[in-house]
Amino acid sequence: MSSHRQIKEGSFHILGGDFANAGEASTSIKRELLEMGVEEDTIRRVSIATFEAEMNIIIYATAGIIRYTITPEEVIIIAEDMGPGIEDIELAMQEGYSTAPDWVREMGWGAGMGLPNMKKNSDVFKIDSVVGEGTRVDMIIKRRRNETEADQ
Amino acid sequence: MRLRQIRELLDAVIVHQAIPEDTDLSWAIATDLMSEVLYYSKDNSLLITGLTRQQAIRTAHIADIRVVVFTKGKEPDFQTLELAKDKGVTLLITPHCTFSACGILYERGMRCCPDE
């Protein structure tokens, strides 16, 4: 029996270039998941996928928004930005491919692992991009609860 | 490997301690690339890095890494230290370079985060 079909949702505005606050949105979502008692594996996958999406907006875009929905079955993350867009999505999905400038690499980013990392941690991963307009990433992370938790 | 042993082996100083020194850490990852940390690390890993910026602490927190070692004696700036305190990330500084720090810990049995 499902006694608490709790659904939570929210959103965060992200500013391009705002490295000082980079990770705040992902940390807030992580905190919310922890407070809801979501299983650890799900929290880790959502946190990593969201953090990579957040960093991509900060590194490449003018601004963006990250929306999240937490249900008993899954966590949905949508990251949408006003940015340069991605010319070749297939190439961008390859591990190690990056267009990040040197100053971003000096900050520890731009390894060409961001999109592959988002895909790795998602059960459903979809990316749409228009050059000169922006990029939208949709991710669904299915919750893998054990039988006891699922029955509660 | 316990935190105390890591500190002793690396001749490290703990600049912020958020967990007991007898805490056991399972794996280590050494990189300056934060996406590699997110991609390859497991929870309860040790992060060894020369990147002494806030990003290292943010990334550790997101990836459930509780201990970070800054190599080559590089000290964190004020904001990075404050972030470590805020996020409960234990922070060590070793005078050794990343290569040597890895070698020292490997010799004593610490291993890389395993693949899936």
Query: Is the predicted pLDDT of residue A150 greater than 70, yes or no?
Result: no
CATH of the domain at A40: 3.30.565.10
Q: How far apart are CA B103 and CA B91, in angstroms?
A: 20
What is the CATH class of B3-107?
alpha beta
Query: Is the predicted pLDDT of residue A16 greater than 80, yes or no?
Result: yes
Determine the distance in angstroms separating the CA of A2 from the nearest CA of chain B, rounded to an integer.
29
Q: How far apart are CA A141 and CA B24, in angstroms?
A: 30
Structure-derived torsion over alpha carbons of residues B91, A100, B41, A128, reported in degrees to the nearest 10: 130
Number of Cβ atoms within 10 Å of the Cβ of B25: 20
Contact flag A116-B38 (C-beta cutoff 8 Å): no
Q: Does B77 touch chain A (CB under 8 A)?
A: no
pLDDT band per the 50, 70, 90 thresholds, residue B115: confident
- Arithmetic mean of pLDDT, B11-16: 98
- Arithmetic mean of pLDDT, B32-57: 93
pLDDT band per the 50, 70, 90 thresholds, residue A4: low
Contact between B39 and B60 (Cβ < 8 Å): no
Instruction: Tell me if A145 is assigned to some domain.
Output: yes
3-state secondary structure chain A: CCCCCCCEEEEEEEECCCHHHCCHHHHHHHHHHHHCCCCHHHHHHHHHHHHHHHHHHHHHCCEEEEEEEECCCEEEEEEEEECCCCCCHHHHCCCCCCCCCHHHHHCCCCCCCHHHHHHHHCCEEEEEEECCCEEEEEEEEECCCCHHHHHC
Q: Report domain extents, chain B.
A: 3-107
Instruction: Tell me if A1 is assigned to some domain.
Output: no
Query: For residue A47, what are the domain limits?
Result: 12-151
Interface test with chain B among A18, A48, A66, by most B beta carbons within 10 Å: A48
Number of Cβ atoms within 10 Å of the Cβ of A124: 12
For chain A, the domain total comes to: 1
What is the rounded average pLDDT for all residues in chain A? 91
- Arithmetic mean of pLDDT, A85-106: 92
| Residue A11, pLDDT score | 97
Determine the distance in angstroms separating the CA of B6 from the nearest CA of chain A, rounded to an integer.
24
- Tell me how far apart the 2 most distant CA atoms of chain B are, in Å: 36
Contact between A62 and A18 (Cβ < 8 Å): no
| Residue B116, pLDDT score | 60
Strands B67-70, B45-49: pairing kind: parallel
Instruction: Tell me if A7 is assigned to some domain.
Output: no
Contact flag B62-A111 (C-beta cutoff 8 Å): no
- Arithmetic mean of pLDDT, A91-98: 92
Determine the distance in angstroms separating the CA of A130 from the nearest CA of chain B, rounded to an integer.
24
| Residue A151, pLDDT score | 47
Angle at A124 between CA A120 and CA A125, to 5 degrees: 65
